[in-house]
Structure 1
Amino acid sequence: MNFCQRSKKRPNKSVKRLTGNAVGTDYQVTHPKLSALIERAKALPPLVTAVVYASDEVSLRAAIAAAGAGLIEPVFYGSEARIRVLAEQLHLSLPGRIVDTGESAVEAARRAVKDAADNRVAALMKGSLHTDELMAAVVARDAGLRAETRITHTFVFDLPRYAKLIALTDAVINIAPDVRTKADAITNAVRLLIQLGVQAPKVAILAAVETVHERIPATIDAQALVALAVSGRFGSAMVEGPFGFDNAISATAAAAKGIVSAVAGCPDLLVVPDLNSGNMLYKSFVYVGGGECAGIVQGARVPIILTSRADSQFSRIASCALASIARSKV
């Protein structure tokens, strides 16, 4: 299938061990591309990160593991008594400090966002509160966190059968994005890819078919986004579409349909039509494709680590690493 001219060798199943100084950071991973991203982030100063409402085991362990790996310097927001009792029950040593905001998740989010706006913390990390509770605080008009682009989410995947990291937007935040929102999602994701070292990201706009059809809105949007790219909106990025998923990801499939493209078969970024298709693609990559992911929310003044309850600890660690690189000047 010629996925980005991948090696004909079997995927590397060798196990790499990540170690750290805190409980939960000594574990095995089999995703070398994301592991390399984590190692790169370890060379940066720890990111001062507001861990918002870390009142459950999963979010507390993840934050402590990321701190132990040298990726973040956590500041915990929530009930100090509850956080300390939970840490004691789990036999965990708490790094960083606690901002006691009581039992209210909404108050924890409001206080963390205010501290981000006041430059007291450099990133936000979702704990056990609902995503809507955190994002409502972020997008509030008086919060001071809005930036020049709309709020969007970008995943970065390590897929066993794909030769490089591949990004996906937007599978989390925007339900039915219009062209302007998709353009901002591309702008945000391209900026992140450049920070990851991809100087001219290849962007594939996905739809059900690879031709523009007036009854398929995603193809009309793709045509408009390509026109924006031609006008220079996305800088060095090469933006093409619409693509069906098969001819976006496989040069062989593209050739079979007579598609001549610099992007087909080797994209760095996939842009999905809407949240439904993006969320299903993301979960297919992980649960069927054997992939692993990191993800952050962009478009605010600070990166937001917005993980799912079902995400692995490795994914949470990798998301902290991605946020650290996104926040850095390199």
Structure 2
Amino acid sequence: MEFFAADRRGNDFDFRLSIFCRRVYNQGIKSRWRSFLLWRKSSKEEFFMEQLRSLSALLDYAKQITAAKGPKCIAVAKADDPGLFEAMEDARKAGIARFTLTGERAKIEAAAKAAGADLADYNVIECSASEAEMAIKAVTEVSSGKADIYMKGQLHTANFLRGMLNKEVGLRRGKNTISHCFFHHIKGYDHLFFVTDAAFNMYPDVAQKADIIRNAVQLAHSFGIECPKVACLAAVEEVNPDMPATLDAAALTAMNNRKQIKGCIVDGPFALDNAVSEKSAQIKGIDSPVAGKADILLAPNIEAGNALFKAIVYFSENETAGLIIGAAAPIVLTSRADSPRTKLLSVAAAVVFADSLKK
């Protein structure tokens, strides 16, 4: 394998860092040229990037974006948790984010002190003890354009989401279904898996599932996956009139074939094994471009999605992160049980996605 570094200057482009890779095989020569970083010499900089195959690569890409364009601003509702401050400090020191915090200043100061953070590095908006007010003030920062990302702090999820859905200052985008997507780097695989929806929509119908797919596909595109493969999960891989999930999968596949769902390949129903294992798909005689190669796993309902997500995390200790998508801006909704690393990776994903939404 040979590596070439090139620096080309022209009227329209300025290649500050462009690394190309050529692979030479024994039988014939196959060349694959990869440009990892490119920015346009204009007021609006653009990145062209290869598919992100790990969450570490995602974090590196967020750093590349913000090194050129500056850190994204994240509005955090009720930011008085020391564990949250640890993740915010990681993101701030990595240069990918700056933060506006809402809440009671005394409690925020105590949390910052417990985490060893200097509150002078943060913008604080003083609020009363009302969680609803904290959520509204944080989401207003985003809807007004002062911040790029809305993030949950130490408030009840219901109050956080009410802020997001507020009719006057919230982030709902028309009638589009808002959904949640987890993404994982699973040991033994060379790409990321997206699991949706495991946290937001309980029993989505076909129309909602179509929106959930569209949301996840948009996120996958921002991660450099040009045409993600979507597997509609069920208990079996055959359409069964007595199993609604299989009927939904068949309908979604038809919608994709008729260009009602674009930018991806949708197929199903799939049992989990033949969605992620080419060997299992071959044994069962399933001929599909998605079989064994899925990028996005569409759960039939929240129970299946949540169980799958937690099995991935807790049985094998795989890295994970997640976002609420389908709104006017990325939304970071983490759990108190999440590690600082998971929170940092979720912030990095929000930074990458926020950048793609503005292109």
**1:120 paired residue number:** 146
1:153 Cα offset (Å): 0.7
Three-state SS of the structure 1 residue aligned to 2:324 is strand
1:144, distance to aligned residue in structure 2 (A): 4.1
CA distance in 2, matches of 1:158, 1:217: 30
Distance 2:56 2:202 in 1: 31
Q: Matched residues in 1 for 2:351 and 2:59: separation?
A: 9
> For the Cα contact (< 8 Å) 2:276–2:292, is it kept in 1?
yes
Alignment-derived partner of residue 290 in structure 2? 263
Aligned to 1:288: 315
1:103 matched to 2:129? The reply is yes
1:138 is matched with 164
Structure 1 CA distance for aligned equivalents of residues 157 and 76 of structure 2: 13
Opposite residue 220 of structure 1, the aligned amino acid is L
Aligned to 1:42: 63
Q: Which moved more, 1:237-246 or 1:45-54?
A: 45-54
**1:58 and 2:83 equivalent?**
yes
TM-score by length of 2: 0.81
- Taking the TM superposition and a 5 Å limit, the aligned residue runs for 1:12-91 are 33-44=54-65, 45-91=70-116
Q: Deviations over 1:111-147 (max 9, x none)?
A: 1112211111110111111211111111122234111
Task: Look up the equivalent residue of 1:63 and give its one-letter code.
Answer: M
Match of 2:117 in 1: 92
Q: Which residue of 2 aligns with 1:6?
A: none
Letter in 1 for 2:60: E
User: Whose RCO is larger (CA < 8 A, sep 6+)?
Assistant: 1
State the distance in 1 between where 2:148 and 2:99 align. Answer: 10
Query: After superposition, what is the alpha-carbon deviation per residue over 1:202-224, rounded to whole angstroms, capped at 9, x for unaligned?
Result: 11000011111111111111011
Whole-angstrom CA distance in 1 between matches of 2:310 and 2:98: 30
Aligned residues: 300
Q: Give the whole-Å Cα distance in 2 for the aligned partners of 1:109 and 1:298.
A: 18
% identity of equivalent residues = 38
Query: Quick one: distance in 1 between partners of 2:136 and 2:170?
Result: 11
Structure 1: 4+ residue segments shifted above 4 A: none
For residues 222 and 123 of structure 1, what CA distance do their matches in structure 2 show? 32
Q: Does the CA-based 8 Å contact 2:85-2:117 persist in structure 1?
A: no
CA contact (8 A) 1:80 1:102 kept: no
Partner Cα distance (1:65, 1:102) in 2: 28
- Whether the 8 Å contact between 2:233 and 2:300 is mirrored in structure 1 is yes
Written as runs of structure 1 = structure 2, the 5 A alignment for 1:213-292 is 213-292=240-319
SS in 2 for 1:65: helix
Q: If the length of structure 1 is used for normalisation, what is the TM-score?
A: 0.88
- Counterpart secondary structure, 1:198: coil
For 2:111 and 2:224, the matched residues in 1 are separated by 39
TM-superposed CA distance for 1:240, in Å, is: 0.4
Aligned match of 1:307:
334
Structure 2, gaps ≥5 residues long? 1-52
Structure 2 partner of 1:163: 190
Return 5+ residue gaps in structure 1 as ranges.
1-31
Mapped to 2, the partners of 1:131 and 1:208 lie a distance apart of: 31
Choose 1 or 2 for highest CA Rg.
2
* Deviation of the 1:233 alpha carbon: 2.3
Specify whether residues 103 and 221 from structure 1 end up closer, same or farther in structure 2 by C-alpha distance, changes over 3 A only: same
Cα distance in 2 for residues equivalent to 1:87 and 1:290: 29
How far off is 1:35 after superposition? 0.7
Give, in whole Å, the separation in 2 of the partners of 1:134 and 1:233: 32
Q: Does the 8 Å contact 2:149/2:329 carry over to 1?
A: yes
